[in-house]
A and B are shown apart, each in its own frame.
Chain A
């Protein structure tokens, strides 16, 4: 295998019922940054049925070319036809790398494709960088997040990786970007398509579990009143986060017990924990100290929360929440 023959960063565009998933835009954004660094191009692989209208938006999101594979076999996701289409693109186009969202769909598709084209696949990357030899360095957590490992795929192409939703960031859509849209034909081997989708059932996902949240906007006594709580709520909406609280807020009736963090509540370890107006009693800290990043805001510069926070701000939590939300919404 001559590695020089392999070019382009190819992104699998996950769509469900015709809706392009955010993770696809995040991957396009990351692919764009990597391609600019490598002086390479970004290709979007859009698979589905009657989905061609979505192609232009992918150029705005960073693609140089969109390969549209439109076929009735691809109307709903099942492993085999999607694998056939992606493998055809890989065999024809010889990509340097292929990125896929680490969703229940992408984690079904990715390994099947990697085994068919016989290359390496790094699961659930949280970071992708360019290495000294223009190879991709993909970093991922292992052992339940206790350890981080940077994985390389030295002598095989494409270098494949799945990336968790919400980890990388999309670029701002630029409708003036130019790119090519290619209608890409795939002949399916229907004898291999053996799994039949009977139905998809959507369930209410409103039953919130704060232990699953990636970002928690948590408030304590310093939030004060309903107005402060409402501001926290809007910030959480902006960040696609969940609201949680110390016992003080729960006891005051602003929020339900299911959102309480601490020894008598839940233990959480999100990627980002905002502690707004929380003093940091040990009972609270016990429930959140393992969070990846803790940003605390408190009026009292001696508050114990600052001993566990990565970033501490001495100030008025309510004002900062309001201002932060305004800035993020700009």
Chain B
């Protein structure tokens, strides 16, 4: 079986702080990691490889430093790594990102394409399903588990609010995986050594099948109108009033904050 796993390098958002003076994100010194859901996806692929045998290609789109997560994927057990990087990809929203990735994935042969459900920097959960659409392949998102019958049918456990669903789909297909699906393995010592001897293939826009006008910032239907920090809390209001008035103030505050 051939598996491709899409991974993304993200800042560890639990470490991100807001500069109180400028109201902007402080990104210096924030460690970059493999996005947790993607790492769950890679681990799922590695387990399939152990059970049924598989060849695993990892692919990432991102700036030069994203090479690091491909090395980590090698060290965990990936067989091939592709780094999609080009200035023309910069500033892409989810549609333009998924379009570029799909352009690269069209060049690859696979039975199963795995992405994480969502990345912790954007939390959109859009790129996986959008890739599936660009490739005209069936999708199943929010995966907790996946079994392969050894022939061509996958049985999947999909998380939903009230429990889970069991679905069946034949290869080739696209799945998006939750970080909670498994506990990703650590890099092996031998793997770390190998990781830097293996070759990461670097692809730009000219190596993939795309219409350049649909890439990057220009190819993105959505744009950021403004961004702002949630902000430091202003000094709270304090009221010493009778019960009825107090209840009115509370209800108004809840309405103001769209809670009611």
Which residue from A104, A112, A198 sits with its C-beta under 8 Å from B168?
A198
Task: Please state if A169 and B238 are interface contacts (CB–CB under 8 Å).
Answer: no
Minimum CB–CB distance from A321 to chain B (whole Å) comes to 10
Closest residue of chain A to B134 (Cβ to Cβ) is A115
Task: Please state if B93 and A120 are interface contacts (CB–CB under 8 Å).
Answer: yes
Task: Please state if B221 and A198 are interface contacts (CB–CB under 8 Å).
Answer: no
The A-contacting residues of B in range 216-243, CB under 8 angstroms, are 220-230, 233-234, 236-243
Which residue from A112, A194, A292, A309 sits with its C-beta under 8 Å from B257?
A292
* Interface-lining segment among B41-49, B82-90, B155-163: B155-163
List of A residues within 8 angstroms of B155 by Cβ: 198
Interface assignment of A211: CB less than 8 Å from any CB of chain B: no
List of B residues within 8 angstroms of A320 by Cβ: 243, 246-247, 250
Q: How far is the CA of A196 from the CA of B154 in the complex (A)?
A: 11
Work out how many contacts link A and B, with CB atoms closer than 8 A: 247
Interface assignment of A137: CB less than 8 Å from any CB of chain B: yes
Interface SS of chain B: mixed
Interface assignment of A207: CB less than 8 Å from any CB of chain B: no
Task: Please state if A200 and B163 are interface contacts (CB–CB under 8 Å).
Answer: yes
Task: Please state if B164 and A79 are interface contacts (CB–CB under 8 Å).
Answer: no
Task: Please state if B94 and A311 are interface contacts (CB–CB under 8 Å).
Answer: no
Task: Please state if A80 and B138 are interface contacts (CB–CB under 8 Å).
Answer: yes
The A-contacting residues of B in range 119-173, CB under 8 angstroms, are 120-130, 132-134, 136, 138-142, 155, 158-170, 173
List of A residues within 8 angstroms of B251 by Cβ: 324, 327-328
Interface assignment of A310: CB less than 8 Å from any CB of chain B: yes
Interface size class on chain A is 35 or more
* Interface-lining segment among B11-19, B51-59, B186-194, B196-204: B11-19
Task: Please state if A78 and B258 are interface contacts (CB–CB under 8 Å).
Answer: no
List of A residues within 8 angstroms of B230 by Cβ: 141, 145-148, 292
Task: Please state if A143 and B253 are interface contacts (CB–CB under 8 Å).
Answer: no
Minimum CB–CB distance from A100 to chain B (whole Å) comes to 12
Task: Please state if B258 and A167 are interface contacts (CB–CB under 8 Å).
Answer: yes
List of B residues within 8 angstroms of A306 by Cβ: 236, 238
List of A residues within 8 angstroms of B125 by Cβ: 107, 111, 123
Interface assignment of A319: CB less than 8 Å from any CB of chain B: yes
Interface assignment of A93: CB less than 8 Å from any CB of chain B: no
List of B residues within 8 angstroms of A200 by Cβ: 160, 163-165
Minimum CB–CB distance from A34 to chain B (whole Å) comes to 14
Which residue from A79, A103, A168, A316 sits with its C-beta under 8 Å from B243?
A316
Closest residue of chain A to B120 (Cβ to Cβ) is A144
Q: How far is the CA of A18 from the CA of B66 in the complex (A)?
A: 46
- Given the contacts A148-B229, A312-B238, A297 and B139 also touching, CB distance less than 8 Å: no
Which residue from B123, B140, B220 sits with its C-beta under 8 Å from A142?
B123
Task: Please state if A104 and B258 are interface contacts (CB–CB under 8 Å).
Answer: no
Task: Please state if A295 and B129 are interface contacts (CB–CB under 8 Å).
Answer: no
Closest residue of chain B to A293 (Cβ to Cβ) is B257
Closest residue of chain B to A154 (Cβ to Cβ) is B223
Q: How far is the CA of A303 from the CA of B236 in the complex (A)?
A: 13
Give the interface of A toward B (CB within 8 A). Answer: 16, 78-80, 83, 103-105, 107-108, 110-112, 114-116, 118-124, 126-127, 131, 137, 141-156, 167-169, 192, 194-203, 205, 215, 271-272, 292-295, 297, 301, 306-316, 319-320, 323-324, 327-328
List the 10 closest A-B pairs by CB distance, nearest first: A120-B221, A120-B222, A115-B133, A144-B13, A111-B126, A123-B124, A156-B221, A203-B163, A111-B129, A115-B130
